[in-house]
Amino acid sequence: MNNQEVADLLNKIANLMDIQGETFFKTRAYRMAAQQIEVLEEPIEQLVKEQRLQDIQGIGTAIAKKIEEYTTTGHLTFYNKLTKEIPESLLDLLNIQSLGPKKVGTLFHKLGITTISELRNACTQGKLRHLEGFGEITERNILRGITLKEKTSGRSLLHNAYADSTECITHLRKNPAVKKISIAGSLRRMKETIGDIDILVASNQPEKVMDHFTHYDHVERILLKGPTKTSVLLDDNIQVDLRVIEPKSYGAALQYFTGSKEHNVQLRSIAIKKGYKLNEYGLFNKNTNAYISGKHETDIYQLLDLQYIPPELRENAGEIELAQHQKIPKLVDLKDINGDLHVHSQYSDGNETITTLADAAHKQGYQYLGVTDHSQSLVIANGLPKDKIEKKLQEIQKINKKYDDFHILCGTECDIKTDGTLDYPKNILKKFDFVYIGIHTAFKQNEKEMTHRITKGLQHDYVDFLAHPTGRIIGRRNPFAIDFEQIITTAQERNIALEINAFPDRLDLSDKNIKLAKELKAQFVISTDSHNRSHLPFMQFGVATAQRGGCTKKDIINTQPLNQLKQTIGAKR
């Protein structure tokens, strides 16, 4: 029974109780307990064993007792009883836009609706409009909500949302009523997937800004429009929420709308303890309501006696305590990155020549580029046969003469075969400047086999980096079954850095895994896995993920300047 499973159960209880009509504060207690467990560093079962559950802020006798029963027996009597009254399938309905717990409760109690398909039928038959609090418009909105949920399955990849937001901001900036503008929400926190894009504008003429916004070319439909808040659906089905606020509240609003929600709840309770009230309009005196500050986001943190917290860390996962003790680290920055070490050329499955890739990397301001083509057995990716390696080395040597402030390194992304042996022998691996190893076949091995396979791979000489360590593809492929801590430990003992793969649907390691690996003193390399030059800028998303994992410059190998990097990888050869 892991921590996430316990947290999930508590969240489900909260949602079901909401539908049942329980008081807000009671269901919130379950959610807060769930949140605490999600960020817990040790296994919850350990706490149960040592009777320490109630040491956690937000867990009292009632919830502790439920956790104890659930972790020791695998089920919870209270939950079974609850789902007899309120069917579990109603939880799906809560994810439909314009439906919340109250309406779902009414639908269930008055019409006996328990599933999305039953709901759709009831809507098309016009059965909802007669219920109290419902009408024809609600009926239509629910139908739209169902369609939207099916079409988008919820969230977009970070890079898609980022590209949309950049374009939208460019459009908004053209209007002189826009004084200041920023992305906010989960996009500003650079989460790997984004529910909707939040944009914040400072202006004294909100109507003009809203009009300009709704006339943006890519707006498919206006979902709601008011003087301070407008939501639209773009033609690629991503939702954009725009908030307009007076300049004197811009900083407070930026803080507020960046979230996360859990981070803000903590911040507001700190504000109250210090005699303030904090909302999106500013920091106020709790008693007199007098405005104290709000123009700059940094001032809010300062007035709460907190070190400034970068958006990437605002998940209520310990960052507030760090800020109270002035211990927020200086995170790695995109400017710190001196080169990309995982790029594919036409020598395997890349689309472009080494020359083209090198020119693009040089223009991007890098000192070096590592060209890592797939190894021989990976036929589907046009893996490089042994007898072509010499040709590649010579070509790189020739191109390198062109540059005096840039250097191409010849690497490989060598396959770890199913038994843990590598796809090139030792004498071949030695020819490369550096070596990534990675899994590209037989993803479904069990935990024991896969962990053995990877740790055995890490034992070979001349290995520098472990590519996309968990193999997950966001929304499409789950991570391998592996004992991740054992892999981190082995990599660390062998002085091998773990990749933070920046390709948008990989982001592998994830922020959570980075955090875990960092605690075990792992080293990292951030690389893009580019297959053509348009992928090189993905570095930004790898760096953001590293930031979310709390990495500093010295945690990341490819922040080293060329000479130092040569020493690092050269020491193994």
Least Å distance, CB 543 to DNA, is 25
Helix (H) or strand (E) holding 198: strand 197-202
Least Å distance, CB 173 to DNA, is 21
Structural contact between residues 559 and 543, judged by C-beta atoms closer than 8 angstroms: no
Least Å distance, CB 198 to DNA, is 6
**At which residue do the structure tokens 């590293």 appear?**
546
Number of Cβ within 10 Å of residue 88's Cβ equals 13
> What is the rounded CA–CA span in Å between residue 569 and residue 483?
27
Give whichever of 106 and 490 is closer to DNA, judged by the CB atom: 106
Structural contact between residues 186 and 155, judged by C-beta atoms closer than 8 angstroms: no
Give whichever of 198 and 555 is closer to DNA, judged by the CB atom: 198
Least Å distance, CB 225 to DNA, is 5
Give whichever of 16 and 437 is closer to DNA, judged by the CB atom: 16
* Interface residues toward DNA, by CB under 7 A: 23, 25-26, 28-30, 33, 54, 57-64, 96-104, 129, 132-139, 141, 145, 185, 195-196, 198, 224-229, 239, 241, 257, 261, 264-265, 268-269, 272, 277, 279-281
Residue 178: strand, helix, or coil: coil
Give whichever of 25 and 401 is closer to DNA, judged by the CB atom: 25
Least Å distance, CB 67 to DNA, is 9
Least Å distance, CB 113 to DNA, is 13
Give whichever of 141 and 307 is closer to DNA, judged by the CB atom: 141
Least Å distance, CB 299 to DNA, is 18
DSSP one-letter string for 468-516: STT--BTTTBPPP---HHHHHHHHHHTT-EEEEE--TTT-BS-HHHHHH
Kindly tell me the burial class for residue 470, based on how many C-beta atoms sit within 10 Å of its own C-beta (0-12, 13-18, 19 or more): buried
Q: Which pairs with CB-CB distance under 8 Å and at least 24 residues apart come from 306-311?
A: 306/270, 309/263, 310/547, 311/188, 311/189, 311/190, 311/258
Return the sign of the alpha-carbon dihedral for residues 130, 132, 138, 142. Answer: negative
Least Å distance, CB 74 to DNA, is 21
Give whichever of 224 and 379 is closer to DNA, judged by the CB atom: 224
Residue 255: strand, helix, or coil: helix
Give whichever of 52 and 388 is closer to DNA, judged by the CB atom: 52
Least Å distance, CB 32 to DNA, is 7
Give whichever of 192 and 198 is closer to DNA, judged by the CB atom: 198
Beta strands in 354-433 (DSSP E): 368-374, 407-415
> What is the rounded CA–CA span in Å between residue 41 and residue 302?
28
Least Å distance, CB 251 to DNA, is 16
Give whichever of 259 and 471 is closer to DNA, judged by the CB atom: 259
Judge if the upstream peptide bond of residue 40 is cis by omega within 30 degrees of 0: no
Give whichever of 83 and 98 is closer to DNA, judged by the CB atom: 98
Return the sign of the alpha-carbon dihedral for residues 282, 283, 288, 291. Answer: negative
Using alpha carbons only, how large is the chain's radius of gyration in Å? 26
